[in-house]
Homo-oligomer: A and B are copies of this chain.
């Protein structure tokens, strides 16, 4: 039996505060990049001590959902700000730098979720999706062949034109145009041989070893909102993972 069900429904106060703050974030009361009320104001609103609000904010800050800045305030995390750009990018050149990649869109089409995609994105099988393919290049050299699938419903109006004219990361667009904020992602990595399509796109021979990065991104409440498959050339770059 689930332990949660037998144990009494004890939840620390600061976790409840955390939930309430998260709900305000979902409702859009505070938008990405904006400051939330000060710890004292929130303490007054929720009728708890400042220390308890602090602990809730500490936790959200550790999850990169809020950003604290001493002397200034606490801000809603965003994928727009220059400093946090490429928050989810783990691929770095052998010199150690994370550099800006050039974005070249190949296609943007409507699709329908197959069984796997339905399960992954928690939508109904056959539900409408939007499928994007693009090529990311570095210094003129193709580096990643990316396939992106999102459910159509939350991204109504996302079309090729919209995608092509956007100058920034996909996450930044999701956030600014559709109000969908990604807060977490899971990546599954494998080594694969390039298939014909990818080999052509990247200018390689079929079977050339590529790093396959399958990513699922989640918005508030651990709701999956994007599936992505990136096939990466890793002769000049590597994927950095820190273990603790």
Contacts of A185 in B (CB 8 A): 242-243
Using CB atoms and an 8 Å cutoff, list the residues of chain A in contact with chain B. Answer: 62-64, 87-88, 90, 183-193, 207-212, 214-215, 232, 234-235, 237-244
Find the B residue at minimum CB distance from A243.
B185
A195, B208: Cα distance in complex, Å: 14
Contacts of A210 in B (CB 8 A): 191, 209
A189, B211: Cα distance in complex, Å: 8
A188, B87: Cα distance in complex, Å: 17
Number of copies: 2
A141, B200: Cα distance in complex, Å: 33
Query: Are A187 and B243 in contact (CB-based, < 8 A)?
Result: yes
A88, B244: Cα distance in complex, Å: 7
Contacts of A242 in B (CB 8 A): 184-187
Query: Are B186 and A189 in contact (CB-based, < 8 A)?
Result: no
Contacts of A64 in B (CB 8 A): 244
A151, B187: Cα distance in complex, Å: 33
A87, B244: Cα distance in complex, Å: 8
Contact of A187 among B209, B215, B235, B240 (CB under 8 A): B240
Q: A184-B243, A187-B242, A189-B238 are in contact. List 9 more A-B contacts (CB 8 A).
A: A63-B244, A90-B243, A187-B243, A189-B189, A190-B239, A191-B209, A191-B212, A211-B211, A241-B241
Contacts of A183 in B (CB 8 A): 244
Contacts of A211 in B (CB 8 A): 189-191, 211
Contacts of A241 in B (CB 8 A): 90, 186-189, 239, 241
Contact of A184 among B186, B212, B240, B244 (CB under 8 A): B244
CB proximity of A185 to chain B, nearest CB, Å: 4
CB proximity of A60 to chain B, nearest CB, Å: 11
A184, B215: Cα distance in complex, Å: 24
A242, B238: Cα distance in complex, Å: 17
